[in-house]
Structure 1
Amino acid sequence: MEWKLIKSRPICPQLCEQLSTHIALGEFAAGEQLPSVRALAVEAGVNPGTVQKAFEQLSRDGIIYAVVGSGWYVGDNLEAAEAAVERSRADKTRQYFSDMENLGMTEAETKQYTERWNTDGGTAQM
């Protein structure tokens, strides 16, 4: 699994977002065991305590569950994972438009900039 973690942002929410996305996209099936806390921590290059917190949050959200002595498993509530991904996307979109507004861009300019970014491979200039 590839991890795209931004060190300047809190890691635990990023792990939750990315795990939810992997689950929502079907990369982990319902009932499938997730990598161990230690294995995932090594793979992602983070503290095992951070992975444990992320797993606990995903469990509270109904996305995964723990089996004592066995590990963490993907729950059968795919809708919970999809809803978490949608919330994350909406939050990031709101933040993006807010950031662009703080830079003095109107909503129309932001949309135009985004369209140009998408068509020119990420080198949009205004």
Structure 2
Amino acid sequence: MPDAPFSFDIQPQLATPIYRQVVEQVQRLVAGGQLKPGDDLPSVRAVAERHAINPMTVSKAYSLLEAEGLLARRRGVGMVVAEGVRPAGDDRMALLQPALLALARQARQLGITPDQALDALAQAFHSNDQDNA
């Protein structure tokens, strides 16, 4: 589990449904090895309260992840990353590909060159590092 208390980055203004945002974030965190087998996820109630969203939305995401085999339900504890789940290695890039394609499409539409987009991406990485410090 990450050093700081685990929290989802929920963005209601996005076109992506909130339950999908939760599913995709857990998939990426497991694929990247930041969530490991046995790590606890925040409770449905905690996520719903923190982000002012319907608990059924969080429950739906957790159920989909359980059906996918990424999460397991532990009675009295809540949801944990399932045993036997391993970081995805090269599959991490496959999870990133849709966002990269969307970024490239938007950059082209805005008349931004590949070098400008790469510079902006590098700046975003550094700005995110400072936000998490």
Give TM-score scaled by structure 2 length: 0.67
CA distance change for structure 1 residues 114 and 104 in 2, over 3 Å: closer, same or farther?
closer
Deviations 1:31-89 (A, max 9, x none): 23322211222233321111111111212222112245653221121246984x54431
Paired position in structure 2 for 1:5: 10
**Matched-pair identity in %:** 25
CA contact (8 A) 1:61 1:80 kept: no
Aligned length: 117
Unpaired runs of at least 5, structure 2: 1-5, 128-133
1:97 and 2:104 are equivalent in the alignment: yes
- Please give the per-residue CA displacement for 1:4-25, whole angstroms capped at 9, x wherever unaligned: 2221222111111222333344
What is the 5 A alignment of 1:1-126?
A: 1-9=6-14, 10-67=17-74, 70-75=77-82, 76-79=84-87, 83=91, 86-105=93-112, 109=113, 111-117=114-120, 118=122
Q: What amino acid sits opposite 1:21 in the alignment?
A: R
TM-score (norm 1): 0.70
Tell me the distance in 2 between the aligned counterparts of 1:82 and 1:59: 23
CA contact (8 A) 1:63 1:78 kept: no
Please list the CA deviations of residues 73-106 of structure 1 after superposition, one character each: whole Å capped at 9, or x if unmatched. Answer: 21121246984x544311101111122233345x
